[in-house]
Amino acid sequence: GKSCGACCGLYNYVDSSHEALTERLRARTKRFRKLVKTPEDLPLYAAATFAAEDFAKRYEVIYCCEYLGFLDDKEKKVGCLVHPMQNSGVDMRTVSFYGRDICAGHLCPSHHFIPLSQQLILLKIIDDWYLYGLCLTDIDLVVTYFRLIADRVGQEIKPEVFDRQALKDIALEYFGWKITWPFRSPSANRLGKYYFDGSQYMISHIDYEKFGKELSPLNSIFLSLSSEFQNKDELEAAEKMVWNNIEAFVSRYQDIF
């Protein structure tokens, strides 16, 4: 399966760009494979990792776990290097900051608030681990989108629908905005919404009144994308981008099904 790693602090480094995280995880994975043969080797690995990396965080309350790495040689899956499946069944998570029980039993609010069918859709359409984790941990981004579409087509969208490349591409354009959104606030020192203890670290506010507008039905999506609009034109351009995407999806969907 594909994992996310947000709860292990993946996106909580000051530099949490795709490139920086790739380098970090790659080096860890290599170091781990080289140094760790038994649980007794873990302190050596941890010390080397703390010495090699900058562990400055965005949010102090979220731990950045040194055991998050790549699980596969192709670097497509992010996950826990001390998980038993990575170590011939030996569970070394007792060493972790959170402890074995939390690591093994933790399910973030996404598991609860994003319907399973929508979790499966993300799994199916997003190949890039970096984008996948950002989207999976952003409940509003996911749930609002599929609700707006479902309202228009009159039914919930099923994962099989995305066997159609055209529909997959439209959804991917939308989810890609998590990284490429042109109205993203430059001061927003955050990427995803982070959950571990149930708190949500985000929420800015968009002042619609200032632009002579009503609260947008897309408000929760705009907040998910850390939007900041300079003027009414920008706000309207943003609304148009999202509505165009949704309309394109709906019309393609109705052509096919």
Q: Shortest Cβ distance from residue 10 to ligand SF4 (Å)? A: 8
Which residue lies nearer to ligand SF4 by CB, 130 or 229? 130
Q: Are 100 and 91 in contact (CB under 8 A)?
A: yes
106 binds ligand SF4 (CB under 6 A): yes
122 binds ligand SF4 (CB under 6 A): no
Out of 25, 42, 103, 167, which residue is the one contacting ligand SF4 (CB under 6 A)?
103
Q: Are 91 and 42 in contact (CB under 8 A)?
A: no
Q: Shortest Cβ distance from residue 257 to ligand SF4 (Å)? A: 29
Site string for ligand SF4, 73-102 (x = CB under 6 A): -------x-x----------x--x-x----
For residue 6, give both structure tokens. 């947000």
Instruction: Return the residue matching tokens 């690995």.
Output: 45
Give the residues across from 69 on adjacent strands.
Answer: 79
C-alpha R_g of the chain:
20
User: How many chain residues bind ligand SF4 (CB under 6 A)?
Assistant: 21
Q: Shortest Cβ distance from residue 224 to ligand SF4 (Å)? A: 15
142 binds ligand SF4 (CB under 6 A): no
DSSP 218-245: THHHHHHTTB--SSHHHHHHHHHHHHHH
4 binds ligand SF4 (CB under 6 A): yes
Q: Are 39 and 95 in contact (CB under 8 A)?
A: yes
Which one of the spans 13-21, 105-113, 223-231, 233-241 is the region binding ligand SF4 (CB under 6 A)?
105-113
7 binds ligand SF4 (CB under 6 A): yes
- φ, ψ for residue 184, nearest 5 deg: -70, 130
Site string for ligand SF4, 22-61 (x = CB under 6 A): ----------------------------------------
End-to-end CA distance of the chain: 29
Give the residues across from 13 on adjacent strands.
Answer: 57
Q: What is the Cα–Cα distance from 190 to 188, expressed in whole angstroms?
A: 5
Residues at the site binding ligand SF4, with contacts judged by CB under 6 A = 3-8, 65, 67-68, 80, 82, 93, 96, 98, 103, 106-108, 110, 136-137
